[in-house]
Structure 1
Amino acid sequence: MKNKAKILLIYTGGTIGMIKDPVTNSLKAFNFDQLLSKIPELKLLSHKIETYSFEDPKDSSDFDHTDYIALAKVIEANYEDFDGFVVLHGSDTMSYTASALSFMLENLTKPVIFTGSQLPIGDLRTDAKENLITSIQVAGLHENGKPVIKEVGLYFEYKLYRANRTTKINAEHFEAFESLNYPPLIESGVNLKINRSSLQRIPSKRKLKVHHELDNRVMVIKLIPSLAKKTLEHILETPHIKGIILETFGSGNSKTDIWFIKALEKAINKGIHIVNVTQCSGGSVEMGKYETSDQLKKIGLIEGKDITTEAAVGKMMYMLTKDLEYNVFKTIFETSLRGEMK
């Protein structure tokens, strides 16, 4: 196992990079060049750590597709010079950003590990130190001269997950993220326990291809039992929308009213791509399993299987730039590209 790796720590914003003002008690970003003064334990790591901070760090709630592109370009520009990357990001939309990056970084053969914290780095009880230190260790893991992790991961509270399988499930607990449809890649205890059967296997000779375009003409619609006809029709007629993530009930079920099915069919005929994902935290869409999803299958909705809403949004923004015919788009979307679905 390689002892020393060169890691680029990228700060985009978020709680992990905040400190409390002793006078106002409000949170403010601190200078990341002073990272070692806040976490002196980093000096004990054998890895060489360099830092890069976004010129205008953002709360993750303000992060959008243009920031995803900027982040991908930072990784691309430094890809040959570093063995791994750790991205510090606000937890609220971390799964969205990390999922999008997984599609943008094609043929990734080095670790890109997202992490953050629920408490500021300067707080006495902060979870930032453990998350950051272990993320760096994970990013530096090598065996036989090659990285152990060759994908975009998300590390939080002793577990490394495949990033595009994650969802933030708790706003208060340190265990903020979960991957209900896919096991952790690594669990941190006294030792790092690697779940080798779950890792991505990308041939090391493949050349990284970074996709610089995303199309944000995407909308998420969450079905409710009392959804009004005029409300749905108004939403589906929103100008410029090209992709819809439709959060349905259970294993992909919905209303069977004729007006509902016709409204979706009309949108599909206009060229809008509609993906059926489940509102449930875990489980999978299986259109046709029940009568309440059979019509959705017949009119051509894309089956999201066990993809998360966050990953579906990222995949949609990525694929909309490819200008594909509907059936080709549907076939590719229903295929796992980065391990995001079964």
Structure 2
Amino acid sequence: MSQASTLPAEAAVELAIVTRSGFVESRHIGAAVVTNADATLRAELGDGHQPVFPRSTLKLFQAQTALALGAQLTDEQTAIACGSHSGSPAHVAHVREMLHASGLDDRALACPASWPRDRASRDALVRAGEASAAVYMECSGKHAAMLAACVAQGWPVEGYLAAEHPLQLAIKDTIERMTRERPSAVGIDGCGAPVFAVSLVGLASAASRLATSSAASPFPLFKAAASVWRSVLANGWLIEGHGRPNSIVISELGVLAKSGAEGVLVMAAPDGTAVAMKMLDGSNRASTLVGLQLLVAAGAADVSRVQQLLPRLGLEVLGGGVLVGEIMVGSAVPTSL
């Protein structure tokens, strides 16, 4: 029996290259799609109909589910529920406030213990003799929101990550309704939560629906989607951290950007144009560049503003501390759509 899989290499195209001293040293292959505001497919690079594990891009829809289930979250708490935060004291404070509002504390978190990704915050903990903890894990905001939804519904907080828990069943339903697909596989994400395989087409169309949802919708799920959109755009620094790619794109361009492990990225412009991509080698170093180029090609992002951001995205290749190359879009990425 064949093993469940994402797209094979022969179904991928060149999305990015890495040059060093005039030599193309590496190529990133994968697939990407662009959807219109009405969630219809506009462009497909490689096979965008093959399944992927969306990884942390699902946080947008997990947070949407929590809100629809009655979790009482501030805009900042909603944003960090969508984020893969760096574990700074400000990030951790929002997570703990969410837990305390639900009558819980750090011990309720079922994500693994971790150190902050922010180096200064990690160093401060080490100097203070503190240990790694679940609250510093980049997914702790999502977990706190999940717990808030359980408390709101009167569901048990113990075992909230089990696939058969009513919370996870509700999240699966949200993903199906937003992507208009049934997940082709279910796995366990790095934080311990279920992760559902959908196509890039489904993921991008879900992002388009998120961006175009109305706060006046009579349907709780779409009203919650509008809250997610508003909260993320107003609090970009909570999604990753100051100076990190997702946060830069959100704060500077007003474009939703959420990366996931293993080379996954989703973006959505204010007009509802969305991008979803998967780098087959699992690297995210070129994803933001490619995603922005696709939005520019679709007329959904201003090219001059995007070019101003590029020096802040870590695209330089150094040799002996000197610039000798760069990460560039690949041959399959169009200049216009």
Bin of the TM-score, shorter chain as denominator length: under 0.3
Larger Rg: 1
Of structures 1 and 2, the one scoring higher in RCO (CA 8 A, sep 6+) is 2
Larger helix fraction of residues: 2
